[in-house]
């Protein structure tokens, strides 16, 4: 009991002492990085620094307690060597490393890290989990906020509009819907799509119970052409973000590769999460934790894909399916408990949803219809049929035919929304 008390006390004191105004001022500092490597190697390179008008995260929760994502960046104040900010994330580059292609050649992709603009010099460190889920340092940089190479161009914020507003952006989860492949002539369609997806999100549990903690923003940024690239069909469109199907040669994987371009567009609005609405009716989408989410907005299943992808983008939820054309070989090490909240290898199941399972439900849970509406540990998930377990027989993270998120996924989403809105 005494030990527990000391541990609790010390962890509280660690996180409670960061007073936002002691270390940060208005706006955000954006660090653009290049990630390059192969299946077995990775390097991160400095690209540039920018000042942006909005930092929309919590001024209270500055140190990441969610512990999600393959990477985490840490900002230390140089004057007192204190950790003053941290945030977990994943990237497209990390996914690329798991593809067949990455075994044969090098590739570089980009990402932008953002944190509140510091008052004094800081050291930024990026760490990545190894196969055993232990964070190792990959990159370090000293940043003097007075450096004249930090670009401070004025950002036009006039084209931003509110879709759902519940209050000050530093106290809410801010979701930004960016239009991709909508021309000026499609602007009414984009505004209607914004309303449609916002309505669906705010009507879907657990978002429906947390509406008053969420803001949704839109931005009038249009493309020369309608639609998106479909390389496998020889279709190329000149659009705002150059979104493309066939990412990593998977037809339905619809993503934007140039993150700097995306971050430039997003800078006009307050945002914690980017959602790219792609003006296409061809089935597709994709999302990566604290990277962005994307959906083909005109497809007839778009609303369900939208929710599924946001589970990845917002809360780092894993795919619970294991029979499909998506074949990531050995994506999870079966001897390690994955960081995602909605799958388990049973290695440290007590850290997941084990305590929520009824004592009458066996673990692992048999594939028997008497358990199909129960919380359990069903084998199959995370792209493999054996060794990875999911909480329920079906869920929106497994199949679009499902009724909703399961309890561990809901709890993960609720935690993230609270984190941004406290
Ligand atoms: Zn998915």
**How many structural domains compose the chain?**
3
Does a structural domain hold residue 413? no
pLDDT band, very low/low/confident/very high, at 330 (cuts 50, 70, 90): confident
Residue 16 pLDDT > 60, yes or no?
A: no
Check whether the bond before 364 is cis (ω within 30° of 0). Answer: yes
Bridge partners (DSSP) of residue 31 are 49, 113
**What is the C-alpha radius of gyration for the chain, rounded to an integer number of angstroms?**
21
pLDDT on residue 2? 44
Q: At 173, which CATH number?
A: 3.40.390.10
Question: Residues with beta carbon < 5 A to ion ligand 1?
Answer: 319
Q: Compute, in angstroms, the gap from residue 52 CA to the centroid of ligand 1.
A: 31
Residue 129 pLDDT > 50, yes or no?
A: yes
Residues 383 and 275 in one domain: no
Residue 179 pLDDT > 70, yes or no?
A: yes
**379-413 pLDDT per residue, tens:** 999 999 999 999 999 999 999 999 899 999 999 99
Does a structural domain hold residue 327? no
CA distance 312 to 290: 9
Does a structural domain hold residue 391? yes
Q: Compute, in angstroms, the gap from residue 286 CA to the centroid of ligand 1.
A: 7
Q: Compute, in angstroms, the gap from residue 396 CA to the centroid of ligand 1.
A: 9
Residues 252 and 203 in one domain: yes
Q: Compute, in angstroms, the gap from residue 15 CA to the centroid of ligand 1.
A: 33
Residue 83 pLDDT > 70, yes or no?
A: yes
Q: Compute, in angstroms, the gap from residue 311 CA to the centroid of ligand 1.
A: 8
Percent of the chain with pLDDT over 90: 92
Residues 187 and 84 in one domain: no
Residue 208 pLDDT > 50, yes or no?
A: yes
**21-50 pLDDT per residue, tens:** 999 999 999 999 999 999 999 999 999 999
Does a structural domain hold residue 9? no
Does a structural domain hold residue 242? yes
Q: Compute, in angstroms, the gap from residue 168 CA to the centroid of ligand 1.
A: 31
pLDDT on residue 12? 45
For 253, other C-beta atoms within 10 Å of its C-beta total: 17
Boundaries of domain holding 255: 160-317
Q: Answer with the one of 100, 117, 143 that is the final residue of a domain.
A: 143
Q: Compute, in angstroms, the gap from residue 214 CA to the centroid of ligand 1.
A: 23
Q: Are strands 173-180 and 71-77 parallel, antiparallel or unpaired?
A: unpaired
Q: Compute, in angstroms, the gap from residue 163 CA to the centroid of ligand 1.
A: 26
Residue 3 pLDDT > 70, yes or no?
A: no
Residues 375 and 278 in one domain: no
Residues 235 and 173 in one domain: yes
Residues 128 and 81 in one domain: yes
Q: Answer with the one of 118, 143, 168 that is the final residue of a domain.
A: 143
Does a structural domain hold residue 330? no
Residues 138 and 166 in one domain: no
Please state the φ and ψ torsions of residue 161, each to the nearest 5 degrees: -140, 160
Residues 192 and 139 in one domain: no
pLDDT on residue 327? 56
pLDDT band, very low/low/confident/very high, at 4 (cuts 50, 70, 90): very low
Residue 14 pLDDT > 70, yes or no?
A: no
Residue 209 pLDDT > 70, yes or no?
A: yes
pLDDT on residue 384? 92
pLDDT on residue 372? 96
Mean pLDDT, rounded, for 318-340: 84
Q: Compute, in angstroms, the gap from residue 125 CA to the centroid of ligand 1.
A: 29
Does a structural domain hold residue 199? yes
Residue 369 or residue 2, greater confidence:
369
Q: Compute, in angstroms, the gap from residue 369 CA to the centroid of ligand 1.
A: 25
Q: Compute, in angstroms, the gap from residue 252 CA to the centroid of ligand 1.
A: 11
Q: Compute, in angstroms, the gap from residue 285 CA to the centroid of ligand 1.
A: 9
Does a structural domain hold residue 390? yes
Q: Compute, in angstroms, the gap from residue 294 CA to the centroid of ligand 1.
A: 11
Residues 110 and 79 in one domain: yes
**219-264 pLDDT per residue, tens:** 999 999 999 999 999 999 999 999 999 999 999 999 999 999 999 9
Q: Compute, in angstroms, the gap from residue 179 CA to the centroid of ligand 1.
A: 21
Mean pLDDT, rounded, for 160-175: 98
Q: At 86, which CATH number?
A: 2.60.40.3250
Residue 9 pLDDT > 80, yes or no?
A: no
Q: Compute, in angstroms, the gap from residue 199 CA to the centroid of ligand 1.
A: 21
pLDDT on residue 323? 80
Residues 391 and 280 in one domain: no
Burial class (CB in 10 A: 0-12, 13-18, 19+), 224: exposed
Residues 211 and 266 in one domain: yes
Taking the complete model, does pTM exceed 0.85, yes or no? Answer: yes
Residues 137 and 167 in one domain: no
**346-363 pLDDT per residue, tens:** 999 999 999 999 999 999
């Amino acid at each position: 009991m005494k030990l527990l008390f000391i541990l609790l006390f010390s962890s509280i004191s660690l996180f409670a002492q960061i007073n936002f105004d002691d270390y940060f001022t208005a706006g955000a500092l954006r660090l653009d990085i290049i990630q390059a490597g192969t299946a077995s190697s990775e390097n991160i390179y400095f690209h540039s620094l920018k000042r942006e008008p909005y930092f929309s995260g919590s001024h209270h929760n500055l140190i990441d307690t969610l512990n999600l994502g393959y990477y985490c960046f840490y900002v230390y104040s140089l004057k007192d060597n204190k950790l003053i900010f941290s945030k977990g994330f994943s990237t497209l580059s990390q996914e690329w490393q798991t593809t067949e292609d990455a075994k044969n050649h090098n590739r570089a992709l980009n990402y932008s890290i953002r944190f509140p603009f510091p008052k004094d010099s800081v050291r930024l460190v990026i760490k990545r989990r190894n196969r055993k889920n232990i964070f190792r340092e990959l990159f370090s940089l000293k940043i003097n906020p007075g450096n004249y190479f930090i670009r401070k161009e004025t950002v036009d914020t006039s084209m931003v509009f509110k879709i759902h507003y519940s209050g000050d952006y530093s106290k809410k989860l801010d979701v930004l819907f960016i239009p991709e492949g909508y021309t000026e002539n499609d602007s009414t369609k984009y505004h209607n799509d914004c309303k449609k997806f916002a309505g669906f999100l705010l009507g879907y549990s657990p978002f429906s119970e947390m509406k008053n903690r969420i803001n949704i923003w839109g931005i009038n940024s249009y493309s020369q052409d309608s639609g998106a690239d479909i390389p496998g069909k020889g279709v190329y469109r000149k659009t705002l973000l150059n979104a493309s199907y066939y990412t990593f040669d998977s037809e339905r994987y619809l993503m934007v590769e140039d993150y700097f371009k995306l971050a430039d567009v997003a800078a006009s609005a307050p945002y914690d999460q980017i959602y790219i609405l792609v003006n296409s009716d061809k089935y597709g989408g994709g999302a990566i934790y604290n990277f962005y989410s994307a959906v083909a907005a005109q497809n007839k299943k778009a609303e369900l894909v939208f929710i599924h992808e946001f589970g990845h983008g917002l809360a780092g939820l894993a795919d619970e399916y294991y029979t499909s054309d998506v074949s990531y070989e050995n994506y999870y090490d079966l001897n390690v408990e994955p960081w995602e909240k909605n799958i388990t290898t049973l290695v440290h199941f007590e850290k997941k949803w084990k305590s929520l399972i009824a004592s009458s439900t066996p673990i692992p849970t048999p594939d028997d219809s008497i358990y199909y509406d129960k919380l359990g540990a069903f084998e199959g998930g995370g792209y493999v049929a054996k060794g990875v377990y999911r909480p329920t027989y079906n869920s929106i993270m497994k199949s679009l035919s499902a009724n909703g998120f399961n309890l561990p996924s809901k709890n993960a989403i609720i935690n993230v929304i609270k984190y941004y809105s406290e």
